[in-house]
Structure 1
Amino acid sequence: MFTSGQLYFAGSFIVVFVIAMIYVYRKDLALHKKYYKGSYWILIAFLSFIAALFVVKFLTKDPS
């Protein structure tokens, strides 16, 4: 399906991308703490909403 060169490229791309994202996040950590206080509550609310959708889907599922 994929050649070995494509797999090597994908793997190296993922590793370099993750390293770059960690570097950039660490560099801006002070700004994140200053401007994004309380953003965890938004994440918790979003995940709760998604969980509620799955519960509603499971409860309204046709048993047959």
Structure 2
Amino acid sequence: MLSTGQLIFAGLFVIVFTAVIIFSYRKDIKMHKSFFKGGVGPIIIGFLIFVGILLLIKFYVK
């Protein structure tokens, strides 16, 4: 089991880490737009197809 101090540390870590990631992304948003002109749509679709294939393989082998 985790102690109270460990749970507090984990909660604060998640909050601070998320805030830093959001701040960093907002700071670099112009650069992201110039490098990723196609958007994230094709990447999300590819990821979902990949996960779907893995699920099909899992149920087929089972």
Q: Considering only aligned residues, what root-mean-square deviation do their CA atoms show, in Å?
A: 1.6
Residues of 2 paired with 1:12 and 1:53: CA distance?
A: 35
Offset at 1:30? 0.8
Residue pairs, 1:33-52, within 5 angstroms: 33-40=33-40, 41-52=42-53
In the alignment, residue 42 of structure 1 is paired with which amino acid?
A: I
| One-letter identity of the residue aligned with 1:44 | I
Q: Looking at CA atoms only, which structure, 1 or 2, has the larger radius of gyration? A: 1
Corresponding residue of 2:31: 31
Q: Give the TM-score taking structure 2 as reference length.
A: 0.81
Structure 1 gaps, min length 5: none
Cα distance in structure 2, aligned partners of 1:48 and 1:39: 17
For structure 2, the 5+ residue unaligned runs are: none
Give the equivalent residue in structure 2 for 1:54. Answer: 55
Residues paired across the two proteins, number? 61
Identical counterparts, % of pairs: 44
